[in-house]
Amino acid sequence: MKKNVLIIGAGAVGAVVAHKCAQSSDVFASVCLASKNVAKCDAIIDSVNKKNYQTVAGFQFYSREVNAYNTEDLVTLIRSTKTEIVINVCTVFVNMNILDACLETGAAYIDTAVHEDYSVMNAPYPWYANYEWKKRELCKEKGVTAILGSGFDPGVVNAYCAYAQKYEFDSIESIDIMDVNDGDHGHYFSTNFDPEINLREIIEDAGCLEDGQWRTYPHHSRSMKYDFPEVGEHKLYLMGHDEVHSLSKNIPGVKTVRFWMGFGDHYLKCLEVFEKVGLLNHETVTTNNGEKVVPLHTLKACLPDPASLAPKYKGKTCIGTLIKGKRDGQDKELLVYNICDHEVTYADIDSQAIAFTAGVPPVAAAKLIASGDWDLKAMVNVEELDPIPFFERLAEMGISTEVHDLSANKGSSSNRVLYA
């Protein structure tokens, strides 16, 4: 039976989710796109309608206004729309409100990032234990499916680990998730997601699991270079990231789990200036004329809207998981990855590749809940699920899965496409 879906969030990722849900009217009976700014929802729906996707008769796509900080409002919306699956691509500060509304109504819950408290920087490890995992038993008691971190990173990269564990390795020793954007949007400076979230995470301490111990480093204090398929060599910086915290628990025997993000020198120089002059401050300050402002909000207002970047974006992204371990007593090293082209994703759904890779996976997860494959009536992270149907749904919607085997012989490698 087809399912009714509620998308909460009308940013660049929400737009991707909306388009991909509209392309899946054989699975979804109706889609409601909700946000505090209903005009943004309507603009996205207009962009969907202009694509003239072939939809099944009776398919409905409409908008609603909602205050996602108010659980009662969310409960009312879920019930009034007869929602069965909620895709949360709103700000991470409301995750628990939306999850609580799903627990109240019985709707399945999908998100793409771990919950954050706006007032807390450098939250204690592991992050998922601070909020989401405290609700695991309640999800099980109420029979509510909750799939955590179902974007690309976290999300698809977690599935890469599940695949490697099941099909490629006898034991996994280390996991290095690497994310690089070899693209150019033509602006002097911009973030690819909500600046309020993007810039916060970049200046937080870099936390990781190394040799079985949680370790913390000042941001941008550790770096390495890696030569990626198709996009070449890039410099990467160690960062704290959601998936480190669940993989460290859910991959048996793993001793090292790290996340690395690629940044150019120009980007880091701009970031350094913003930080030193106080523009990344998320607390209220008072101006000389007595006006109260949050510097980070002011900076956000001055930067390009991430949703506006797509038309001029050129180049490709590469996101992958470098996994090392043992197979048949021998050392093995594998890169499982995806290459995504900004111009291809724009031609498909008017999106840049970074938003595309974040927005397609939660739709794949929703389709798997609708089919029953992932409807477990419990709270899980993606690496706890069967990755194969996930890869299949991703490929159908434009995200391939490739494997670069670096252990065949020293100095040589082999490539194979798993799903495309």
pLDDT digits (tens, 9 = 90+) for 370-412: 999 999 999 999 999 999 999 999 999 999 999 999 986 555 5
Confidence label for 32 from pLDDT (cuts 50, 70 and 90): very high
Query: In the predicted model, what is the mean pLDDT of residues 268-289?
Result: 92
Does the pLDDT at position 177 exceed 90?
A: yes
Report the percent of the chain where pLDDT is more than 90: 88
Q: Tell me the HSE value of 89 on the side-chain side, using a 13 A CA sphere.
A: 33
Topology alike, domains 3-152+354-396 and 156-353+399-419: no
- Pick among 3.40.50.300, 3.40.50.12280, 3.60.150.10, 3.30.360.10: CATH of 156-353+399-419: 3.30.360.10
Q: State the pLDDT at residue 243.
A: 97
Does the pLDDT at position 112 exceed 70?
A: yes
Q: What is the mean pLDDT of the chain?
A: 95
Query: In the predicted model, what is the mean pLDDT of residues 337-360?
Result: 97
Q: State the pLDDT at residue 1.
A: 72
Does the pLDDT at position 315 exceed 60?
A: yes
Confidence label for 2 from pLDDT (cuts 50, 70 and 90): confident
d(CA 100, CA 351): 31
Query: In the predicted model, what is the mean pLDDT of residues 239-267?
Result: 96
Q: Tell me: the pLDDT tens digits for 323-346?
A: 999 999 999 999 999 999 999 999
What does CATH list as the number for 3-152+354-396?
3.40.50.720
> Got the DSSP string for 272-337?
HHHHHTTTT--S-EE-TTS-EE-HHHHHHHHSPPGGGSGGG-EEEEEEEEEEEEEETTEEEEEEEE
- Token pair for 49: 């309608």
Q: State the pLDDT at residue 378.
A: 98
Confidence label for 130 from pLDDT (cuts 50, 70 and 90): very high
d(CA 269, CA 126): 30
- Token pair for 404: 């670069």
Confidence label for 193 from pLDDT (cuts 50, 70 and 90): confident
User: Hey, where are the domains in the chain?
Assistant: 3-152+354-396, 156-353+399-419
Does the pLDDT at position 235 exceed 90?
A: yes
What letter represents residue 196's amino acid? E
Q: State the pLDDT at residue 413.
A: 62
0.75 surpassed by pTM: yes
Order of strands, edge to edge, in the sheet holding 3-8? 60-65, 28-35, 3-8, 85-88, 108-111, 146-148, 379-381
Does the pLDDT at position 420 exceed 80?
A: no
Q: State the pLDDT at residue 415.
A: 80
Q: Is the Cβ–Cβ distance between 122 and 86 less than 8 Å?
A: no
Q: Tell me: the pLDDT tens digits for 254-270?
A: 999 999 999 999 999 99
Instruction: Name the residue among 176, 199, 181 with its Cα closest to residue 339.
Output: 181
Q: Is the Cβ–Cβ distance between 87 and 366 less than 8 Å?
A: yes
Q: Tell me: the pLDDT tens digits for 213-231?
A: 999 999 999 999 999 999 9
Helix or strand holding residue 83 (H, E) = none
Q: State the pLDDT at residue 25.
A: 95
User: Where does residue 252 rank: exposed (0-12), middle (13-18), buried (19+ CB within 10 A)?
Assistant: exposed
Distances (CA, A) of 318 to 113, 141, 163, 198: 19, 40, 18, 18
Q: Is the Cβ–Cβ distance between 6 and 87 less than 8 Å?
A: yes
Q: Is the Cβ–Cβ distance between 81 and 6 less than 8 Å?
A: yes
User: Between helices 95-105 and 71-80, what is the axis angle to 10°?
Assistant: 50
